[in-house]
Amino acid sequence: MTVDDIGDSNLKVGIVGGGKRCKTILQMFQRQTQPQRTASVVIVADENAKGPGYQHAQSLGIDTTTDFEALGDRKDLDFILDLAGRRDVLIAILVRKKSRVPVLDAVASNVFYDLLNIQKELINTRIFLDTVLDSIQEGILVINPEYEILRVNTPLLKKLKRPKEEVVGKYCYEVLYGEDRPTGPDEGMCPVAEVIRTHRPQHTKHKHIDSNGNTIYHSVSAYPVIENGKVSRIVEISRDITGEIKTQEMLFEQEKLSSVGKLAAGVAHEINNPLTAVLTNSMLLLEDLREDDPMYEDIKGITDETLRCREIVRGLLEFARQETPAKVESDLNKIVSSVVGLVRKQFSFKNITVEANLAEEVPLTRLDKDQLQQVIVNILMNSMESIERDGEIRLETSYDEKARHVLLRIKDTGRGIPEDIKLKLFDPFFTTKETGTGLGLSISHGIIQRHGGRISFESQAGKGTTFTIELPVG
């Protein structure tokens, strides 16, 4: 029988010698899985039953024998591997078997053993590399110069929500951006293309819109693997920096609000006195005029506009004053219920329902009840104006035991907040209303901050807005 006679069937191998090399070979065969497996050891023969390979074979349920000639009685053997190097034993086995069984003698077996050791090292190296890559939480891709993905780590697969089979072998621009050619992202350069062009590492920032319409920022770095002076591979590492970007934006807003507050306080005080004089004199003049007097409407216009200016100044002073909250033990659920009771009737005129879904296990929290009511009313009024007519506003309370925060979410079914004004929402004097000062949300933002809390929002144009207020317990 020759090797060619065996064809594609699974080789049944018998091993002569049960030492360390035998154990190594058994371990290599054990690591192979169907349909990759092309051979399997069915018997190990050695006069020493205590050899490591002999005992490992027994632990795997493989036949073992201390009688070398017993291999000659096995009719299922396709191949014999001689690791003992005893020619007399090998001849006896072949004579006993009386068939042309392919045999690797001791010299050839040593070469085979060395090749298996090299394979073992390669497998161990690959396992180690896969373990390292999967332990890194940043997304990692290995890409060839044709933009084909050769490797991907598990954290990136989880972010992509796709199995490995749908990523490896695909083009990176297809998987990451849904494009049919390497055009790069809408914002920022393509680091892979730049690495191929320059042979140097590249770094950039990309902005994506996820399936929920939220903006996600990634820091992307690409590094070349140079072989024979050419880029043979590109390693791309991406990290989600959305939280860092939002933190930077929040710090910038806080600094800006603080500066505007100081300026507003000085300006408001300077304007308030002359406004009082204008308002007083215009009202005195109005009292002396009849309604049919030609001057009446002009003077009334002056009075109304002056009152409007005073309202703006009052808002400025309130924004700038930033009073320290008078905190007392308060029940968030009761505060929410109280506000809902106040506005429900008013909102019903526009067919807007206001409902409260209050969690039972919300602990008492130290806060300024009046200031928090002001924040809730302000958000509700914005929600009402966003809905205009026929909609719903829902207030929900909950408790995050791990973070020790009470939470209030205010959800509306309004028209939502366009992407281009989201960053300006808490800016003083920014408003989309025809009338108003644009100070309401700025004041609310300051109140929550002085409580040691956080106010944020999520919104999609045409699908409503959710404001979330987080307040620390204690």
Please compute the mean of the pLDDT values over residues 441-458 and round it to a whole number. 83
Rounded to the nearest 10°, the torsion over CA 22, 27, 28, 31 is 160
pLDDT in tens, 258-312: 666 666 666 666 777 788 888 888 888 888 888 888 888 888 888 888 887 777 7
* pLDDT at 445 > cutoff 70: yes
* Out of 121-125, 262-266, 465-469, least confident range: 262-266
CA distances from 235 to 77, 179, 221, 224 (A): 47, 20, 8, 6
- The reported pLDDT for the residue numbered 130 is 80
Q: What band does 1 get if pLDDT is binned at 50, 70 and 90?
A: very low
Handedness of CA 426, 427, 429, 434 (dihedral sign): negative
Give the per-residue pLDDT at 315.
63
Render pLDDT for 63-86 as a digit per residue (tens, 0 to 9). 999 988 777 777 788 888 888 877
Evaluate whether 19 touches 52 at the Cβ level (below 8 Å).
yes
More confident residue, 109 or 5: 109
Least confident of 33-42, 147-156, 384-393: 33-42
Listed range (16-20, 85-89, 379-383, 463-467) with the worst mean pLDDT: 85-89
pLDDT of residue 335: 92
Tokens encoding 209: 């819109």
Section 10-20 average pLDDT: 86
Mean pLDDT over residues 92-100, rounded?
66
Q: Which of 199, 200, 169, 202 is nearest to 184 (CA)?
A: 202
Token digits of residue 418: 């366009």
Give the pLDDT of residue 317. 62
335-371 tens-digit pLDDT: 999 888 888 888 888 899 999 999 988 899 998 888 8
Q: Tell me if 99 sits within 8 A of 123, measured CB to CB.
A: no
Cα end-to-end distance, the chain, whole Å:
85
Greater model confidence, 110 or 19 = 19
Which of 336 and 450 is assigned the larger pLDDT?
336
Is residue 111 scored above 50 in pLDDT? yes
3-state secondary structure (DSSP) of residue 454: strand
Q: Which two tokens stand for residue 52?
A: 């490591």
Given a cut of 70, whether residue 470 has pLDDT beyond it is yes
- At residue 6, the pLDDT reads 41
User: Where does the pLDDT of residue 378 fall: very low under 50, low under 70, confident under 90, or very high at 90 and above?
Assistant: confident
Region of residue 228 (left: phi > 0; alpha: psi -120 to 50; beta: else) = left
Residues 6+ apart with CB under 8 A from 204: 188, 189, 191, 219, 220
DSSP string, 413-427: -S----GGGGGGTTS
Q: What is the mean pLDDT of the chain?
A: 80
Q: Which residue has the tokens 């896969």?
A: 130
Do residues 362 and 397 touch, judged by C-beta distance below 8 A?
yes
Residue 255 banded pLDDT, cuts 50, 70, 90: low
Q: What structural domains does the chain harbor?
A: 3-132 (3.40.50.720), 137-240 (3.30.450.20), 244-321 (1.10.287.130), 328-472 (3.30.565.10)
Model confidence pLDDT, tens digit, residues 380-436? 988 888 888 888 999 999 998 888 899 999 999 988 877 767 666 665 554 555 544
Task: Give the list of residues 6+ apart from residue 219 with CB closer than 8 angstroms, or none.
Answer: 203, 204, 205, 238, 239, 241
| 311-315 mean pLDDT | 69
The whole-number pLDDT of residue 121 equals 72
| pLDDT score at 435 | 47
Token digits for 322? 């930033």
Structure tokens at 80: 């014999």
> Residue ranges of the alpha helices (H) in 230-368?
242-288, 296-321, 332-348
Q: Are 63 and 154 in contact (CB under 8 A)?
A: no
pLDDT value for 224: 93
pLDDT at 8: 46
pLDDT at 438 over 60: no
pLDDT tens figures, 188-203? 678 888 898 899 998 8
Residue 330 to residue 365: CA distance in whole angstroms: 5
Whole-number pLDDT of residue 333: 93
Mean pLDDT of 308-323: 65
Instruction: Identify whether the C-beta of residue 167 lies closer than 8 Å to the C-beta of residue 142.
Output: no
Ordered alpha helix ranges (H), 223-241: none
User: Which run of H or E residues covers position 34?
Assistant: none
Q: Residue 367: which H helix or E strand, with range?
A: strand 365-367
Dig out the tokens for 22 from the structure: 């035998």
Asked if 459 and 409 touch (Cβ cutoff 8 Å), the reply is no
pLDDT at 101 over 70: no
Count CB atoms within 10 A of the CB of residue 285: 16
- CA atoms within a 13 Å half-sphere pointing along the CA-CB vector of 181: 1
Q: What is the pLDDT of residue 461?
A: 78
Tokens of 346: 């008013």
d(CA 213, CA 24): 54
Least confident of 204-208, 246-250, 300-304, 357-361: 246-250
